[in-house]
Amino acid sequence: MKKRAFLSIISFFSVACETAFLGEEEENSNTNVFEIFWNDLDKHYSLFTVRNIDWDMLYQTYRPQVNDDLSEDELWTMMSNLIEHLDDSHTTLYDGDKRYKSGYALNEQSIAGFDADLITSKYVEGATQVTTESELYYGKVKGKEIGYIYLRSMNGDNPGVIDEVLQKLDSYQAIILDVRQNTGGDDRYSARIAQAFADGKHLIYTVQTRNGPGHDDFDEKKLYYTRNDNANPYTRPVVVLTDRRTISAGEIFLLHMKSFAHVTQIGDTTAGDFSTVSNMRFLPNGWTYVYSIQKFLLPNGTSLDGVGHVPAVYIKNTASDIDASVDSVLEGAFDYLYSVHGIE
């Protein structure tokens, strides 16, 4: 999930009395909890039009199911079913440690198709962990003139360390940059990592924040470009590996990388969840939630929210592949680099 602050809280929560305040004390009843929740998203959620959601129709479907005799579990299930229609894992309902992330089932399923230990034991030699970063390691593909970098999230203390990593891999003819299972983080981190591969300055996306009661009320577009101020960028062939759990700031990273002519995406389609997330919202029964508050558009005005980045070469690991000690996605990248660039 992106870690970018946006002041959007209109409610406050008192743990002592488990009561939310929206200007005045709110009744802790199932019907009121639902009304607060539905109306807050109606006024502030940013992707109804982008994701083709008829929120009013969903109210007509779910509101009759709510009554004050529902158990807590029944209300939780009903509200989880409501937000599942958004198919947006940046919209999440919490009850303490329990949570429900809209549209996250396919992302979770992809976990079985990736094994970092398999990569380091079978495919990569000399794997070196960069200790300052959340999960960044690099090495050489065994028997090939190809460097390998794995980046698990877009969080860390020093994204500029990527320049040092690339210096160590500079003798190889190509690099495989693996962002499978990348759960996002900070878009600025994504931009700095991508900067090390930049072949120029490109307009890559625009951002607008919802700012009014209408579902299509947004502020002016803010334009984002690739950063092109690196002294010695890596511009030899790069393959970026993705899966369904490549999400959020990991997908912003791909917006940068795919604008470069020497970069190719291989693997599965990404999650399709780009938006900045609201600050935590509060309900009278003690539940909390967040949701998307912005829309990210490509320069041509289209959106990848709910769609994701579609790879140039589609390959998807299965749990059976991993059980058989085979990473078909990684091996597909080897085949691509050989067939297209003659690299082996």
Same domain, 62 and 166: no
Between CA 51 and CA 48 the distance in angstroms is: 5
* Boundary residue ending a domain (104, 132, 152): 104
* Residue 78, domain CATH: 3.30.750.44
Same domain, 251 and 157: yes
Same domain, 74 and 138: no
Between CA 302 and CA 292 the distance in angstroms is: 17
pLDDT in tens, 121-139: 999 999 999 998 989 999 9
212 belongs to a structural domain: no
Output the pLDDT for position 219.
98
* Residue 191, domain CATH: 3.90.226.10
Tell me: pLDDT of 259 over 70: yes
pLDDT in tens, 67-101: 999 999 999 999 999 999 999 999 999 999 999 99
Same domain, 247 and 172: yes
Residue of 22 and 229 predicted with greater confidence? 229
Output the pLDDT for position 247.
96
Of 87, 109, 91, which is closest to residue 100 (Cα–Cα)? Answer: 91
Average pLDDT estimate for 28-55: 97
Same domain, 330 and 182: yes
Same domain, 118 and 243: yes
Residue of 104 and 334 predicted with greater confidence? 334
Same domain, 18 and 154: no
Output the pLDDT for position 20.
37
CA distances from 186 to 1, 89, 306 (A): 8, 16, 20
Average pLDDT estimate for 174-200: 96
301 belongs to a structural domain: no
208 belongs to a structural domain: no
Of 204, 208, 230, which is closest to residue 219 (Cα–Cα)? Answer: 208
Same domain, 124 and 187: yes
Tell me: pLDDT of 333 over 70: yes
Same domain, 85 and 160: no
> Tokens for 244?
């369904």
Between CA 171 and CA 20 the distance in angstroms is: 59
* Boundary residue ending a domain (71, 104, 137): 104
Same domain, 19 and 121: no
24 CB-near residues (< 8 Å, 6+ apart): none
CB 271 within 8 A of CB 89: yes
Percent of the chain whose pLDDT exceeds 90: 87
Between CA 152 and CA 146 the distance in angstroms is: 20
In DSSP terms, 154 is beta-bridged to 185
When the pLDDT of each residue in the chain is averaged and rounded to a whole number, the result is 92
Of 272, 289, 240, 305, which is closest to residue 47 (Cα–Cα)? Answer: 305
Same domain, 144 and 238: yes
CB 204 within 8 A of CB 143: no
1 belongs to a structural domain: no
* Boundary residue ending a domain (70, 85, 104): 104
- Which residue range(s) make up the domain with 19? 12-104
Of 239, 191, 218, 236, which is closest to residue 295 (Cα–Cα)? Answer: 218
223 belongs to a structural domain: no
CB 218 within 8 A of CB 306: no
pLDDT in tens, 169-185: 999 999 999 999 999 99
- Identify the sign of the CA torsion 131, 132, 134, 138: negative
286 belongs to a structural domain: no
278 belongs to a structural domain: no
How many domains in the chain? Answer: 2
Output the pLDDT for position 10.
35
DSSP structure class, residue 318: -
Q: Give pTM, 2 decimals.
A: 0.90
277 belongs to a structural domain: no
Q: Is 341 helix (H, G, I), strand (E, B) or coil?
A: helix
CB 135 within 8 A of CB 128: no
Between CA 75 and CA 66 the distance in angstroms is: 7
Same domain, 142 and 239: yes
